[in-house]
Amino acid sequence: MTAARVGIGGPVGSGKTALIEAMLGELARQGIDTAVITNDLVTDEDAERLRRGGQLPPDRVRAVQAGACPHTVIREDPTLNMAAADRLEADYPGLDLILLESGGDNLASTFSPDLVDFWMFVIDVAGGDDIPRKKGPGIVQSNLLVINKVDLAPHVGVDFPKMLAEAQAVRGGAPVLATVCRRGEGVAEVVAHLRHEVLFK
């Protein structure tokens, strides 16, 4: 058995790390053995943040430094991430899930199918309600679209039900889930979706 590899991409600041932080508690409660790989440009910032959070033993959070546009190391040449995932599996036999967080990127970022079994794309309400209408590959092709920071909708003049409907329309019925990662809202639904679609348990 190998661990399921799940990519998490999306624009800068949309809440990718916040989603992982919120998911880790839920995954632990459900007994899903998890590790994380983060991708930053030239630092280990996101990995350090997750290690400080203390939800996983520090060694279960590994950092890849992209050194270039983030999509380069998740799509064009994902070998660094593949090697990091292979090492985690070797170090932790029985691992169920490896979450691979991309560095913040544009709406065109996608994951190589050589790297992940499933990938989600995280956008946020504060980025603007026109984001789904722009139909970037991340919005359209991801296995799961997460719209985060729903709590901010009234503050940034976004009609959230309309944004959600437009996202569902451009995805042709592929799944879209809403979250407030800061408060953990909607995160159980994301984990349930992963269990059903990727972990098969």
Ligand X SMILES: Nc1nc2c(ncn2[C@@H]2O[C@H](COP(=O)(O)OP(=O)(O)OP(=O)(O)O)[C@@H](O)[C@H]2O)c(=O)[nH]1
Residues that bind ligand X (CB under 6 A): 10, 12-18, 46, 104, 148-149, 151-152, 180-182
Tokens of 31: 């007994």
Q: Which is nearer to ligand X, 44 or 89 (CB)?
A: 44
Shortest Å, Cβ 31 to ligand X = 25
> Is 10 assigned to a binding site?
yes
Q: Nearest to ligand X by Cβ — which residue? A: 104
Q: Provide the residue type at 129 as one letter.
A: D
Q: Which residues contact 86 (CB under 8 A, 6 or more apart)?
A: none
What's the start-to-end Cα distance of the chain, in Å?
A: 14
| Least CB distance to ligand X at residue 190 (A) | 12
Task: Closer to ligand X by CB, 155 or 196: give it.
Answer: 155
17 labelled ligand-binding:
yes
Compare residues 20 and 88 and give the one whose CB is closer to ligand X.
Answer: 20
79 is in an annotated binding site: no
The least distance separating ligand X from the CB of residue 155, rounded to whole angstroms, comes to 9
User: Distance (Å, rounded) from C-alpha 83 to C-alpha 134?
Assistant: 34
13 is in an annotated binding site: yes
141 in helix, strand or coil?
helix
Question: Could you tell me the smallest distance in angstroms from the CB atom of residue 175 to ligand X?
Answer: 19
> Residues 35, 56: contact at Cβ < 8 Å?
yes
Closer to ligand X by Cβ: residue 96 or 101: 101
Q: Residue 183 and residue 187: Cα distance in Å, rounded?
A: 9
Nearer to ligand X, 92 or 137 (CB): 137
Strand partners, 122: 146
Least Å from the CB of residue 196 to ligand X: 23
Q: Are 121 and 10 in contact (CB under 8 A)?
A: yes
CA distance 46 to 39: 8
Query: Residues forming the annotated binding site for GTP?
Result: 10-17
Which parts are annotated binding residues?
10-17
